[in-house]
Amino acid sequence: MTKLKEKVNIEELFFQSATKVETHIVDITPEIAKRLLEQTDSKIQRSINMTQIGFLAQEMIKGDFCLNGDAIRQDIDGNVIDGQHRLKAVIKANRAIKTIFVKGLPTENIHTIDIGGKIRSLADVLEINHQKKYKYSNSIAAAVKFIYAFNKKTYFANSVKKEKAYLTSTKFLEWIGNNSSITDFVEENMRLRANGDKMVAPSIFCGLKWILDKYSKDKSDMFFQQLSDGIGVDRDNPIFTLRKKILSTKFVGAGGHRIRLSSKEIVFIIVRTWNAFVKGETLTYIYIPKELPKILHK
């Protein structure tokens, strides 16, 4: 690791590309921070968190921001791929900071940075990797996590094939690559959900819709439209009872009591209702199954 010297060539260190990975301990001034951000392609950056910038800026002003091993990372093209919030805080605080500076990293490695923490989410990874902003990026990520977990048997209570369903950024991007229509799918179904009563969380609404479409697209379209807005649902329709069941858990009753359904229980009763819907049955009462019912075909 190279320590910063007084006569270091600033242009060469920060603003010229590297042929190999280099690591330095440097002082970054507001002027350097501004230039580093200006030469960075905004399409590969995650969304800005102004609260985080404000917090970091205050730490710098108070003198509490210190060299702690976190690095400002730059790819081979000169893009900052980790550290934009710290750089913006340097500008806001008008203070220089001493930090580790790594340059010459492969651009494609950006999706491995900060995963598992609170800073870079799978939604951030999606937008950075695709170099595109999505209106429903969080819902896309949530739906993919649901589908991935569902397919890993996590909703099957006694399955001997139950597997861990932790979705790493690499697995997430691989899944997206194999199912590229998911982004448009989620956007379409989030609009359907928004036009209804928003009875079910986006992850379950879009995730189960994706899964049940594989069984019967026509029936799934009708099922989720009626679940969402209740239009065309009479008392003989099992969706009537499902909507009543879900709504009864959203509002406090006369005694001040409310039975909250867990996400897993909501999945179970939706699948239970789907099976009745496919079979043309009437449900006057929906019990909560102890495990996921087998999904029926049309």
Mean pLDDT for 183-194 is 96
Nearest to 298 by CA among 282, 277, 283, 281: 277
Apex 64 CA angle, 62 and 70, nearest 5: 135
Examine the pLDDT at 42 and tell me if it is beyond 90: no
194 pLDDT band, cuts 50/70/90, is very high
Torsion from C-alpha of 46, 50, 54, 57, nearest 10 degrees: 30
Mean pLDDT for 227-234 is 93
Please report, rounded to a whole number, the percentage of residues in the chain having pLDDT higher than 70: 85
Q: What is the pLDDT of residue 116?
A: 39
Mean pLDDT (the chain, rounded): 85
Q: What is the pLDDT of residue 7?
A: 44
Mean pLDDT for 248-253 is 61
Task: Parse the chain into domains and list their residue ranges.
Answer: 2-120, 137-279
Apex 197 CA angle, 241 and 209, nearest 5: 75
Examine the pLDDT at 175 and tell me if it is beyond 50: yes
Q: How far apart are CA 41 and CA 109, in angstroms?
A: 15
Please report, rounded to a whole number, the percentage of residues in the chain having pLDDT higher than 90: 50
| DSSP-derived 3-state class of residue 22 | strand
| Buried/exposed 48-72: b ≥16 CB within 10 Å, e otherwise | eeeeebeebbebbeeeebeeeeebb
Torsion from C-alpha of 141, 145, 151, 157, nearest 10 degrees: -150
Maximum pairwise Cα distance, the chain: 82
Backbone angles phi, psi at 246, to 5 degrees: -70, -45
Q: What is the pLDDT of residue 144?
A: 95
* Spatial contact of 165 and 203, defined as CB atoms under 8 Å apart: no
Per-residue pLDDT reduced to its tens digit, 287-297: 888 889 999 88
- Which of the residue ranges 2-11, 94-103, 207-216 would you say has the lowest mean pLDDT? 2-11
If 0-12 CB within 10 Å is exposed, 13-18 middle and 19+ buried, where does residue 266 land?
Answer: buried
Q: What is the pLDDT of residue 164?
A: 56
167 pLDDT band, cuts 50/70/90, is confident
Q: How far apart are CA 249 and CA 263, in angstroms?
A: 12
Q: What is the pLDDT of residue 192?
A: 95
Q: Looking at the DSSP assignment, which residues form a beta bridge with residue 3? A: 25
Mean pLDDT for 95-102 is 94
